[in-house]
Structure 1
Amino acid sequence: MKAMSSEVRLTVLRLLANPHEHFAEQWSADPVEIGVCMTLIAKALGVAQPTASRHLEILVQAGFVTVAKKHKWSYCKRSELMVSEYLEWLAQELAVEKGL
């Protein structure tokens, strides 16, 4: 839940949901197949790269983002499976139980 408690991290997940739309300028790798360069994520957020890296690390630890290294760059990709599982878990946790 900590990973989802930050508007910045939620924004990262929203941006990575449609990388072709938000990161069309990435030339070094396909943003859908490989992921989005951390530098471009920081730029899109309007924060310094170390700040973006801290937020991304929390998302990686939670399993919502994966990182692939290619040459000298690190590329981030949203884990659709983990996002879906989290949303299912949250829906179950918030469901009103009958008989209470």
Structure 2
Amino acid sequence: MDRSTQLKAMASAPRMQILKLLADPETRFSGQWSADPAAFGVCMTLIAQALGIAQPTASRHLDLLKQAGFITVRRHQKWSYCQRNEVVIADFLDWLGREMRVEAHEDS
């Protein structure tokens, strides 16, 4: 996994907000009628609306999150649906935790 892409993806308030929104799709996107937001993902259009940003801007944020592996995107008819990739997110957080630990021998 390209950690620099993952760090770049996390270094943005809108991208962090997208990940937070997608953590609870049943509550945050309960009005999505085209597919079950928990089972299938959340429509990109609804994500843009939730953030109050233009759809092209949301698409750029979502593309970087996809490149980082933090979300998966699947097409259905004319819409694209996004879901968090919990395995990749957990792996990144574990890696970041290990990287941030100060080892005793490094203090000397």
Give the TM interval when normalised to the shorter protein: over 0.9
User: What fraction of aligned residue pairs are identical, expressed as a percent?
Assistant: 57
What residue in structure 1 maps to residue 47 of structure 2?
41
Q: Distance in 2 between matches of 1:87 and 1:98?
A: 22
Alpha-carbon distance in 2 for matches of 1:32, 1:52: 20
Indicate the SS of the match to 1:99: helix
Asked which structure has the greater CA Rg, the reply is 2
Bigger RCO (CA 8 Å, 6+ sep): 2
**Structure 1: gaps of 5 or more residues:** none
Measured against aligned partners, the alpha-carbon deviations of 1:17-58 in whole angstroms (never above 9, x if no partner) come to: 000110010010011111000000000000000000000000
Equivalent position of 1:57 in the other structure:
63
Measure, in 1, the Cα distance between the counterparts of 2:8 and 2:41.
Answer: 23
Count of aligned positions: 100
Q: TM-score scaled to structure 1, two decimals?
A: 0.98
Secondary structure of 1:75 counterpart = strand
Deviations 1:50-72 (A, max 9, x none): 00000000000000010010111
TM-score (norm 2): 0.91
> Post-superposition shift, 1:93?
0.3
Q: How does 1:14-93 map to 2 (within 5 A)?
A: 14-93=20-99
Decide which of 15, 18, 26 is 1:9's aligned counterpart. 15
Matching residue of 1:94 = 100
User: Structure 2: where are the runs of 5+ without partners?
Assistant: 1-6
Q: Which runs of 4+ in 1 moved over 2 A?
A: none
